[in-house]
Structure formats: C-alpha cells, structure tokens
Amino acid sequence: MSDRLPGFSTLAVHAGAQPDPTTGARATPIYQTTSFVFNDADHAASLFGLQAFGNIYTRIGNPTNAVLEERVAALEGGTAALAVASGHAAQVVILQQLLQPGDEFIAARKLYGGSINQFTHAFKSFGWNVVWADPDDIASFERAVTPRTKAIFIESIANPAGSITDIEAISTVARKAGVPLIVDNTLASPYLIRPIDHGADIVVHSLTKFLGGHGNSLGGIIVDAGTFDWSTGGKYPMLSEPRPEYHGIRLQETFGNFAFAIACRVLGLRDLGPALSPFNAFMILTGIETLPLRMQKHCENAKAVAEFLAGHPAVASVSYAGLASDKYNQLARKYAPKGAGAVFTFSLKGGYDAGVNLVSKLQLFSHLANVGDTRSLVIHPASTTHSQLDDAAKVKSGAGPDVVRLSIGIEDKEDLIADLEQALSA
Ligand SMILES: *Cc1c(COP(=O)(O)O)cnc(C)c1O
C-alpha cells in the first residue's frame, strides 16, 4: 500500500465502503432491516449503555447509512457524521443539541426559503429564537451576539442567488462569541467548498440536492468538525452535563472530538426519530460516486448559461458569482476556485409577469421546487419558495418579483441555451 492520502474523487467512490464481509458484494448492500440480533445479554446492555458501538435499531443507526456517514465525513474533512431523513430534519437535530428554550441563534438572511420558514415559525414554537444578520455585512453578525446566542448559521453558497459567503470572517465572529459556526453546504457540495477548512464547526447538507444528485431521494446529513470545545461555561448542557438516559455519562468527556455527532445520534435522532431509509442511503451513495464529475459539468454549464443570459437584451441582470463582473466573484475565486456552483438567479426587464411567462415557455427546464438535479430546473421564487416573505424581505433575501432562479443540470449546454433563447423571445 502506498502511504499517499486518497484524493477527493477516490474518497467519493470508496470512503466508508468495503466488500460485504459475508457475501463479497462490492456495492454497499441495502440493509433493509429494522433491527439487529445481539450476541448475548451483556452485548445488548453495553450497546444500550453506549459502552460499545454496534447496531441496535435502524432509527439509531444502520450499516448502509453508516457507509454514507463515513463517506460524507471524509469528503468534508470532519471527524464523524450522522445521516437523517432530510436536510430540514438535520437542522432540527443540530439545534436541539445546542439550544434550550429561550436561547437564540444568528442566521444569515440569505437562506433556502424553507429554512427561513423553519427558523421563523417552527423553531419559535420550540422557544428557539432566530436573529437575522446580513451575510454581506460581517459587523451585523457581531452586533447580533448576546449572552443567549448559542450558534451561527450560514450557507456557503447562498440561496437563491448563488452568492458566496465569507465563511472565514463569520467564523472569526463565532470564535469570539464562543459559539459554533454551522454551515449549510448544500449548494456547494464538498467538491466546491469544504467549510471546515475555513473554520466551520458543523456542516449540514440536504443530501436531496447535489450529493444525491439525481432528484430521486430525500436525505440530510450532519458533519462534526471535531473542533468545538463543548465544555466551556456550561453553555451546552446536552454535551457537557451528565446524561440521565445513559447512566450519567458526559458526551464531551466520553467521545471527545466526535461528541457532537454522537449527541445528534443518541439524543437527537433516537428521540426525535427522523431516520433515513437505508434505500435512500443507497441511492445517495451511488450519486456521490460521480459527484466530482457532475459538479464539473454543472459548473461548466452554469457559467455558459450565465454568460448567455448576461448578453441577452430581455435580461436586466444576472447574479452568478462565476462571472468576472459579479459582486461575489472575488469571494468565489477564494472559496470556490473550481466553480461557483450551478444555482443562480437572473432578473428580467419585464418584471414579475415576464418571470412567470418565461417559466411557462421553457420546455427542457422543469418548473419545480428543487435544486441540484441532473436535470435543469427553473422556479420563480417570489411566487413560490419565498412567497411567504413580504416584499422588502423578498428583495433582501435575493428573491424580488422580477427574479428567476435556475439550477443548471448536466445536459448539453447548447440545448439549455437554445431553450432559454426560444422562451425569452416567445
Ligand atoms: C433543500 C435545502 C434544504 C432542506 O433540505 P430538505 O432535504 O428538502 O429537507 C436546506 N438547505 C438548502 C440550502 C437546501 O437547498
């Protein structure tokens, strides 16, 4: 064996997987079972007491899901990961470990529309209070910090306009405040940006998007960077205090640099219950094997489409960080040198009506609420994903009435451009 560390594409195919020890199966089998037989009574007791690692019940862990967890942890450069049923489930599980009722977390205002909803309404009903900050104004994060702040949440490449967030600058604010930085890396995928390299303590993904990549399976994952000390100041009792349900063990003390991933599994997933189906884990693992190839094609196509739109007379503006003229191009060169992703927005001179009209005229692009599919997708955020926001908040989050969002797939770029050309001139 060479002592070379495997590269990203090798990890995307192999990390976490080995031939099945019983059958020799080379692809990771789908362990479609709810539960696992114990060796004996002592073995059962030690698994339940967290003295030994092993399979108990698929709500807590499953061997197919474990391969997915190891693979994404390797791709992100984290110590451990936990796969759950969706990106939103991952966000709930993360914050449940960090916030007590009455606590606060700071979130970037430019976020996936579903996250804005989840943070504003559902989380409020748990007593978790979101405080919004502007990712283009780092000082707004500093100003938002209070003694009750328990975390900062940002997207690496932000919805819907594909803007690039200055992760390092916000991680400095988080360090100073003594709170973890959570980065939603869904739109970048670890192929384009690895937030842990820039100071993230926790990375979260909707696996539903580029990691799965084929628009066929929901999933979410939490990656523990292993960087945060949960014991300071008693701010994170779920991690630092004795756990009555596990014979009084303290998770940070017992599990060290992967204590957060363990907390998410044994306190979050076990008790809240959003387990990922092993079948979905299999589909997503298969998707991840081609992540590097797909991301290259997604980015190449997105850049070509953005350039075409920027030169079209019906188009007022294009927000794509991969364009040299874009306000985020400097940040894109620093954080995403391999490509600025494939989700971006543009605005039409004809406003809201032109946006709605364009969406109805496109043929190759599918009009739907998803991103990160092999197929090219289009949506008008103001009337769909961001419709719950008032007009000022729509504009602030990059989803004004004239804005159309694209998620560029891996088709031939000439066909995508021809479809846009016919729809724009119709
Ligand atoms: C889709 C998405 C989510 C939510 O993930 P689900 O798998 O749909 O629950 C969160 N963040 C971003 C950036 C997303 O695109």
Q: pLDDT tens for residues 378-422?
A: 999 888 888 888 888 888 778 888 999 999 999 999 999 999 999
The three-state DSSP-derived secondary structure of 105-146 is EEEECCCCHHHHHHHHHHHHHCCCEEEEECCCCHHHHHHHCC
> Which among 109, 112, 183, 218 is the best mutation to test ligand 1's pocket, defined by most ligand atoms within 8 Å of the CB?
112
* 143-164 pLDDT per residue, tens: 999 999 999 999 999 988 899 9
The amino acid present at 56, given as its one-letter code, is I
Domains in the chain, please, with CATH? 30-287 (3.40.640.10), 291-425 (3.90.1150.10)
Q: Which atom of ligand 1 is nearest to the CA of 371?
A: 15
pLDDT for the residue 145: 98
Nearest CA to ligand 1 atom 4: 87
Q: Which region among 5-14, 199-208, 229-238 has the lowest average model confidence (pLDDT)? A: 229-238
> Which among 95, 164, 186 is the best mutation to test ligand 1's pocket, defined by most ligand atoms within 8 Å of the CB?
186
* pLDDT surpassing 80 at residue 316: yes
Nearest CA to ligand 1 atom 1: 206
Q: Which atom of ligand 1 is nearest to the CA of 218?
A: 7
CA-nearest of 79, 373, 86 to 221 is: 86
Q: How many Å apart are CA 159 and CA 109, to the nearest integer?
A: 10
| pLDDT grade for 321, boundaries at 50, 70 and 90 | very high
- Pocket of ligand 1 from Cβ distances under 6 Å: 86-88, 112, 114-115, 155, 159, 184, 186-187, 206, 208-209, 218, 220, 371
CA-nearest of 348, 416, 417 to 382 is: 348
* pLDDT surpassing 70 at residue 203: yes
Q: Is the peptide bond before 160 cis (omega within 30 degrees of 0)?
A: yes
* pLDDT surpassing 90 at residue 352: no
Give the angle 379-380-386 at the CA atoms, nearest 5°.
105
If you measure from the C-alpha of residue 333 to the centroid of ligand 1, how many angstroms do you get, rounded to a whole number? 25
In sequence order, the 6+-apart residues with CB closer than 8 A to the CB of 151 are 94, 95, 98, 99, 105, 106, 179, 180, 181, 182
DSSP state string for 160-206: TTTEEP-HHHHHHHHHHHT-PEEEE-TTTHHHH--GGGGT-SEEEEE
